[in-house]
Amino acid sequence: MGIERVLRDWRFAWLLLLLPAALFLPALPIDETRYLSVAWEMRLHGDYLLLHLNGAPYSDKGPLLFWLVNLAWAAAGPSVWIVRLGVLFVSFVSLLLFERLVRRLGSGSDDGNAALARRATVLFAGIVYVALFASAIMFDVLLTACVLLALHGVLDLDQQRWPRGIALFAAGLGLGLLVKGPVVLLDAGTVALLAPWWSETARSAKAKWYGSVLLGMLGGIAIALVWALAAYGVQGFWDAIVLRQTVGRVAKSFAHQRPFWWYLMVLPLMVLPWTLALRAPWRAWRDSLRAPAKTLRFAFAWFVPTFIAFCLVSGKQPHYLLPMLPALALIGGVHLAAGRWRVSAWRAGAVLIIIGLATALGLGRLAAPASGMGAYVCGALVVFTGLLCMSRHARPLPVATIALGMLAALTLCKLAFVLSIGPRYDVGAAAQRIAAAQRAGVPLLYVGAEYGLFTFAGRLTAPIPSMPNRSGVAAWARAHPTGWVISSDDDQPAPPPIYRQRYLDRSLGIWRAADIAAAKGAPH
């Protein structure tokens, strides 16, 4: 297959370029290792309703991702790569759902709709953050697919396919609730609630429209309630899901608290290279806000109110915005198709050069001398890709070419990460030692917060007891002289460890309890 065919069939190239990261990237602490550990405990104990982490109930997320992980493991055994391939497949499904959604929104000819859908989908696939998360063992890729499914239901309502629209809207919302909770009602619900602004059907039949939307929402909630009540019961559902996870995160998040303007600073970096590569006169940007086209209004109803709501919520993480990024790609696709915007090859090349330099200099400096060469080589290849783009500044490059160039660069960056500092994120060797000790009956203690870091990596069959700090370690060591103490805190025990490795920006060590108890100056 020649390069021309690959560039035309961009979906094949998209999968090909993202496949290496899915196959070779280890599970990254602390989120991916934690979620794999929850799925492992589900498999280990056979409890597919109530989630557990380190033996304790885990109510932070819904069960759908963990069910799918176990489904992948049933087919290919418990491993990281099969889960990443599954997430990559969901990302691919999201591209197909989005392309079909844009085709259905378009009001022109079939050829015009297909061209618009292709441009918008290529823009979406080429977004830096979308490519970074395409195989990440997180919830937001799966949530994006659920949101797109729900929006297909909204378009069915717009086309007066009422029963199918209600069913698809309910299915998308229900599955989204099982992925990540009520946030899906915001990600997909604003388009339906603001439909009279973009839909002639909603304007002419408001009562039937909002009645159908309400039925869809109630149906989605009912899907999630079946699991929640079966897993927690009425009181447990109210305490763990409603009060702690929903109200608590919205009112005052117990994690990732950031100011309301934080997303305004992060979003332009997330949607690179298009933040800089898309060019248009100011009038085109201004007119895009006034455009009466149904497709643009749909996109603005999808993105703007949801983004404002996310800014007002106290807990913020970049990946929370992932289900909204297709709306930005849709806006860009409309203006590219209309000729209002165009792509600047030299700007896209400049973005690639910056990424390549950051990869080479950043990862190369952080890596050990023996492993830094991989970062330098991969970074140089990314810079070379950027120079190729800049050399074509006189001739417009196809959007798909720039998107695929960005994907190739990101794959090289991930490869540089694996070759340079990847071992700092891989706790497999330590986990195997811990698992062998656990099987031998050695008492274990982890100092600090243990988020299932070793559970899946070591295929542990029991949780590791932990304590928040070192204040009680010496007493525990004297009571368990044959035990092991594990710590990744900066304040680590003084005796030489029996095992040590670099871990993130610090080190991870294992100590014999007898050595700690016998150490000079150990607290009593």
Residue 357, Cβ density class (10 Å: 0-12 exposed, 13-18 middle, ≥19 buried) = middle
Question: Are the CB atoms for 184 and 173 separated by under 8 Å?
Answer: yes
287 and 326 belong to one structural domain: yes
Model confidence at 3: pLDDT above 60: no
Q: What is the DSSP letter of 487?
A: E
Query: What phi, psi does 112 have (nearest 5°)?
Result: -65, -40
Q: How many residues does the chain have?
A: 524
Same domain flag for 367 and 488: no
Q: What is the pLDDT of residue 7?
A: 44
Q: Are residues 180 and 108 in the same domain?
A: yes
Q: Measured between alpha carbons, how far is 41 from 452 in angstroms, rounded to an integer?
A: 10
Q: Could you tell me which of 449, 385, 446 has the C-alpha nearest to residue 413? A: 385
Domain end among 410, 425, 440: 425
Bridge partners of 487, per DSSP, are 447, 509
Contact call for residues 279 and 131 (beta carbons, < 8 A):
no
Task: Evaluate whether residue 396 is within a structural domain.
Answer: yes
On whether both 86 and 64 belong to a single domain, the answer is yes
Residue 523 has pLDDT above 50, yes or no: no
In a domain? residue 253: no
**For the chain, what percent of residues have pLDDT higher than 90?**
46
Q: Are 341 and 335 in contact (CB under 8 A)?
A: yes
Which helix (DSSP H) or strand (DSSP E) does residue 446 occupy? strand 444-447
- Two tokens, residue 284: 């085109």
Please report, for residues 412, 474, 491, the alpha-carbon distance to residue 471 in angstroms, rounded to integers and kept in the order given.
44, 8, 11
- Given 3-state DSSP classes, what are the helix, strand and coil percentages for the chain, each rounded to the nearest 5? 70, 5, 25
246 located within any domain: no
Of the pLDDT bands very low, low, confident and very high (cuts 50, 70, 90), residue 190 is: very high
Averaging pLDDT over each range in 196-210, 220-234, 288-302, 408-422, which range is the top one?
A: 196-210
Tokens found for residue 77: 């055994």
Q: Which of 425, 446, 462 is the last residue of a domain?
A: 425
Angle at 17 between CA 387 and CA 4, to 5 degrees: 70
Residue 293 and residue 369 in one domain: no
Question: What's residue 343's pLDDT?
Answer: 82
Q: What is the pLDDT of residues 238-290, one digit of tens each?
A: 565 655 555 545 555 555 678 888 999 999 999 988 888 887 666 666 665 55
Residue 267 lies in a domain: yes
**Between these two residues, 41 and 394, which has the higher pLDDT value?**
41
Write down the pTM of the prediction.
0.89
Q: Give CA–CA dist 206/214, Å, rounded.
A: 12
User: What SS3 string covers 400-442?
Assistant: HHHHHHHHHHHHHHHHHHHHHCHHHHCCHHHHHHHHHHHHCCC
**Residue that finishes a domain, picked among 318, 343, 368:** 343
Distance CA 151, CA 193 (A): 12
Domain that holds residue 23: 3-238+261-343
CB of 263 within 8 A of CB of 151? no
3-state secondary structure 336-375: HHCCCCEECHHHHHHHHHHHHHHHHHHHHHHCCCCCHHHH
Asked if residue 244 is part of any domain, the answer here is no
- In angstroms, the CA 124 to CA 97 distance is 12
Is 324 inside a domain boundary?
yes
Counting Cα atoms < 13 Å in the Cβ hemisphere of 467 gives: 13
Residues 420 and 507 in one domain: no
**Separation of alpha carbons 346 and 352, rounded Å:** 10
197 and 329 belong to one structural domain? yes
CB 438 within 8 A of CB 462: yes
Phi–psi pair at 509, nearest 5 degrees: -135, 160
Tell whether 419 and 368 lie within a shared domain.
yes
Tell me if 124 sits within 8 A of 164, measured CB to CB.
no
Paired sense of beta strands 484-487 and 444-447, if any: parallel
Nearest-CA neighbor of 360 among 413, 435, 304? 413
* Same domain flag for 417 and 433: no
Annotate 13-80 with DSSP letters as a single string: HHHHHHHHHHHHPPPPTTHHHHHHHHHHHHHHHT-SSS-EETTEE--SS-SHHHHHHHHHHHHH-S-H
How high is the mean pLDDT of the chain? 85
**What does the alpha-carbon distance between residue 353 and residue 347 come to, in Å, rounded to a whole number?**
10
41 and 55 in a single domain? The answer is yes
pLDDT at 63 over 60: yes
Residue 300 DSSP one-character state:
H
| SS3 assignment, position 511 | strand
Residue 21 and residue 417 in contact, taking contact as beta carbons nearer than 8 Å = no
One domain, residues 379 and 495: no
pLDDT of residue 237: 59
pLDDT at 450: 82
The reported pLDDT for the residue numbered 286 is 62
| DSSP summary character for residue 471 | G
Name the least confident of 41-55, 64-78, 128-142, 492-506.
492-506
Q: Is residue 462 part of a domain?
A: yes
- Contact assessment for residue 127 and residue 98, using Cβ atoms and an 8 Å cutoff: no
Position 524 in a domain: no
Do 134 and 174 lie in one domain? The reply is: yes
pLDDT of residue 324: 94
Total count of domains within the chain: 3
